[in-house]
Structure 1
C-alpha cells in the first residue's frame, strides 16, 4: 500500500482532498495529529524531515484544484508502475525497520541508552560500530542487537575505549 501524505495550509483543502482520496481508494484517513506523531517518529528513527518536498513523488498546488481534481490526480499517480514497491525497495524498508528496532532495543536498556553507536542493516545482517567503555558493555550490546527479530547476523565493529583518567595536580 502506498503512503499518501497531504500537507495542509490554511485554505488548501488538503483535508478534503485526503478524505476524498481515502474514500475512493478504500484507504483509512489519518487525521493531522496521527500524521504529526508519524512525522516525529520518522525524524527520530530515520532522520527524515516529513515536510521536505524532495521526498515525494507528487506535489500539488491546491490553490487551483478542486477537491475532486486533486483526488483524481493523486489516484492516477498512485496507479503508476513507477511508484509501486519493488523487491529492492521492500528490502530497503525491511532493513531500515530492523535498524530502527535495534536502536529501540538499545534505548530501552538502561545500560546502553547513553551509547552513540552506528547501526546499519543489509539483508538482515546488522553491523554495529562505535565506542563503549568495557568489553562487558560491548557484549551486552551485541546480545541485545542479536535478539532483534529478523536480524540474522551481528557484525561487531565496536571499539572498547577506556574512559579518560584525570591526574590530580
Structure 2
C-alpha cells in the first residue's frame, strides 16, 4: 500500500498515467483540479483566488505568507481526507512537496519532451504551435517560482523524486507497470509508525485549515503539531479575541482529544 504522487508538467501525460495506475491498483485517484474545487468549497475560499495563489509567485509587494500558508494547509487537508487505508494516487505538481514528511509517499515525476507536449496541447486546446509553446513556458515558469517561494526548491530537481518516467520513450501503460512495481516495495508500505505519522499530520492540517477560515485566527506565526489526538499550538496572534477563539475552533475539529495552547499576543502577524 502506498500514497503515490505524480508531478506532471503541463500536457506531459501525467493524468493519463495516473488514471491507468488508479485502475490497475484499485486506488482512489485525485487531481489538483479536484483538490482546488473541494478546498474552495470546504474552506469558503474563491477557487480562482486559490488557484492563482498556488500557481505562481506574485510580485514581492503582494506576497502574504500567512495567506499562502493557510491555503497550503487547506489543500493538504483535502488531499489527506481522500487517503483510504493509506492508498491514493494524486496527480498534480505539488503533491511531493505537500506530503514531503510522509515516508510512505512514492514521489513520481512524469516528463515528456517539448515536441510531445506541444502536440498534446495543440490537439486538446486547438492552439497554434506558437501559442502552445508560450503556454508551456508560462506554466513551467509559474510552477518553478511557486516551488522556490514556498519550499526553496527547484521543482524539476530529480532529487525530489523517487522515480522519473519519460513518456517520450515509454507508453503510459509501461509507465504504470513500473510505478506499480515500485509502489509494492517495502520502502513505501504502510506500518503502524507510518500510519501514525499520517494521522498526526492530517489532524494538524485540519486544525490549521479550521483556523484559517476565521479572519481573526489566520496567522503565519502559528505552528500546529499533533500527536495521538493531542494538538499543540505555538506562536502568536494579534489580539486577545483571537487568543480566545483558538481553543473554541480547535475543539470543534474531529479527532482532537486535547489542546495545549502555547500562544500569546504579539506582532508576528501576516494577514
TM over 0.5: yes
Number of residue pairs aligned between Structure 1 and Structure 2: 162
Residue segments in structure 1 that go unaligned for 5+ positions in a row: 163-169
Does residue 196 of structure 2 align to residue 91 of structure 1? yes
CA shift in 2, pair 1:76/1:141, >3 Å: same
Does residue 169 of structure 2 align to residue 64 of structure 1? yes
> Which protein has the bigger strand share?
2
Q: How far, CA to CA, are the matches of 1:84 and 1:78 in structure 2?
A: 8
The aligned counterpart of 2:225 is: 120
Give 1:36 shift: 7.1
TM-score, structure 2 as length reference: 0.48
Describe how 1:10-25 pairs up with structure 2 within 5 A. Answer: 12-25=12-25
Preserved contact between residue 131 and residue 159 of structure 1 (Cα < 8 Å): yes
> Which protein has the bigger helix share?
2
CA shift in 2, pair 1:25/1:137, >3 Å: closer
The aligned counterpart of 1:44 is: 72
Aligned with residue 138 of structure 1, among 225, 236, 243: 243
SS in 1 for 2:203: helix
Highest RCO, 1 vs 2 (Cα 8 Å, sep ≥ 6): 2
Return 112-121 or 37-46, whichever deviates more.
37-46
The aligned counterpart of 1:148 is: 253
Preserved contact between residue 115 and residue 132 of structure 1 (Cα < 8 Å): no
Residue segments in structure 2 that go unaligned for 5+ positions in a row: 40-50, 55-67, 77-96, 99-146
Give 1:153 shift: 1.5
- Cα deviation, 1:7-45, whole Å, max 9, x if unaligned, reads 444775434433333332234555563377689599711
Q: How far, CA to CA, are the matches of 1:95 and 1:31 in structure 2?
A: 23
Larger radius of gyration: 1
Cα RMSD for the two superposed structures: 3.5
